[in-house]
Structure 1
């Protein structure tokens, strides 16, 4: 241990590199681990690492760590972003649009986007994350099926000091970077339109109410209803739809409009209620949310709230790039894309008003 302590650390690491214990491309232990290994301060470790970097023995990459130089070292600056999608339907066009938007921006910043599908399975999601960590990606975009259940997977990424951003869905109790749409204002637009059409008996139908995005849409619906002086009770929220009972309520004029949390549910509503003799929109107006590509091509065109999926993808990649570059800090920045109302044949003025 003669000489400066930083020199002892430097020489020990040089020896590990020269003897092959640390090979080209290997990641060195982090600062805290080296402090424990050599029983020295952080200042000593940083000085040793700086000298090794200046001499070309290692490459230090912000937020990723230090790597041994050599034939494989270039892999660590390969500019990769992983997009993990825990999707219900891999062929949903909205996912494709988000990916397209993210790819456009990723390419502008010289990143390659790697897409991994985990199919609503937390174990597969974590396996995909580990696989991408092994490829030393610069950051993650994550579209979770259930952002609350995926919390441990976020913590796993955080432990590896890699930036990540959630897309479309987030966990309100676990702050994170996020890109999505303005669910609250979109729901207000939809509900006000139904009220403008003289509907007062409006119910909100949910699909996965554990998602904060659906809760935000319900909150917007409640706000618009109360602003119009219309009562809101537990009966206004449908979380499990009994189509026989719902059709009966509609034909008895106890329900004149339905605001569905997404187009998938709205299309199902139209099909199931039509099968039970309910006329759309004469007996009940139906409003969706998303504006799927085929929402306007149905036998009854769906009135809905349009969100720009490509913009959500572009915003996600832009924000993640800012985080990777160290230009955005705090871990709780959210970007919301705008929404607009699209009126088609599934809604009309209440004929019984």
Structure 2
């Protein structure tokens, strides 16, 4: 074994061309030396300047990879005016839909090199936006029920915004699942099984997603010439689905506006001695990870949360964050047929 001091050994290894420096943060100067270019050229590559020929850019990027160079976030923010941080606003993260959107949005942001800052808003959406602006975020995704609180007057100047599950308004880009289309497909599925009509356990009255699902259910019944029963309203929780069963004594088919309420409904029906699906067919909406393990496995409408998050983050980060014309993006849903309907 060599008697050479350890620190000197590391330095000599670095001089002999080891792929990473022995200690400390990799600097632009180190990258420039490895690539045989100027520091200014490295800076241009880091900032995606078009003033670098492809061969030189490739050499610099290879040197960055070999040395493990990562641009310093604060310095990059000073140079570019962008923090590489996105915000996410929600009124709650307790619902399955919001928690899955948070996870999908964080992953979509990470794939693009962005961090994600999460704030909750209970009534005062303006305060939530102000907190995000204080942190210098480059834009924000507003989830579900928080979208209903969003008004143009509440927005700080210059904050780019994408709202999820909200009507297109105020010049924001809006991203949503095809709630009405999915609800209509669920209703038609039950009618096709021979049920005379389909009852509905709806979500909260102030929810855009719930109102769209109610619209799809109602229109599908009307188009089929089937009776439209009085709906029962829940609050997205399994407990509210359980309570809804008391108002569905005559139902043979029920479309629940989400899977959690369907879970509570099935439990209540079982407690009443009514078999699912032999006596009552139940269909949900979302396709939560455990839906296939309900008893019986739940027929449901699948939302593509990954596609929703991708669309939202793309709208915020495309073209380097330059202003874009507001648009409405609707992500398709699909029926997942399991054993809770017949």
| Shorter-chain TM-score above 0.5 | yes
Q: Secondary structure in 2 aligned to 1:282?
A: coil
> Is 2:331 the partner of 1:334?
no
State the alpha-carbon separation in 2 of the partners of residues 347 and 292 from structure 1.
Answer: 17
CA contact (8 A) 2:163 2:173 kept: yes
CA contact (8 A) 2:232 2:247 kept: no
State the alpha-carbon separation in 2 of the partners of residues 72 and 246 from structure 1.
Answer: 55
> Is 2:233 the partner of 1:239?
yes
Aligned pairs for 1:1-353 (under 5 A) are: 73-74=78-79, 76-87=81-92, 89=94, 92=96, 94-116=97-119, 118=120, 121-123=122-124, 125-148=125-148, 150-152=149-151, 154-157=152-155, 159-167=156-164, 169-171=165-167, 174-232=170-228, 235-239=229-233, 246-247=245-246, 250=249, 254-322=250-318, 325-326=321-322, 328-329=324-325, 331=326, 333-348=327-342
| RMSD of Structure 2 on Structure 1 (CA) | 2.8
State the alpha-carbon separation in 1 of the partners of residues 304 and 291 from structure 2.
Answer: 14
The answer for unaligned runs of 5 or more in structure 2 is 1-74, 235-239
State the alpha-carbon separation in 1 of the partners of residues 103 and 93 from structure 2.
Answer: 18
Please report the TM-score for the alignment, with normalisation by the length of structure 1: 0.66
State the alpha-carbon separation in 1 of the partners of residues 247 and 321 from structure 2.
Answer: 58
Relative to structure 1, the CA distance from residue 219 to residue 324 in structure 2 (aligned partners, 3 Å threshold; closer, same or farther) is farther
Q: Secondary structure in 2 aligned to 1:101?
A: helix
Relative to structure 1, the CA distance from residue 247 to residue 80 in structure 2 (aligned partners, 3 Å threshold; closer, same or farther) is closer
Q: Secondary structure in 2 aligned to 1:236?
A: coil
Deviation string for 1:151-196 (max 9, x for gaps)? 35x5322x422111112x2156645212221111111111111011
Relative to structure 1, the CA distance from residue 177 to residue 313 in structure 2 (aligned partners, 3 Å threshold; closer, same or farther) is same
Higher RCO by CA contacts (8 Å cutoff, separation 6 or greater): 1
- Other-structure match for 1:39: none
Q: Secondary structure in 1 aligned to 2:311?
A: helix
State the alpha-carbon separation in 1 of the partners of residues 292 and 173 from structure 2.
Answer: 33
Please report the TM-score for the alignment, with normalisation by the length of structure 2: 0.68
State the alpha-carbon separation in 2 of the partners of residues 248 and 96 from structure 1.
Answer: 30
Relative to structure 1, the CA distance from residue 273 to residue 313 in structure 2 (aligned partners, 3 Å threshold; closer, same or farther) is same
Aligned residues: 263
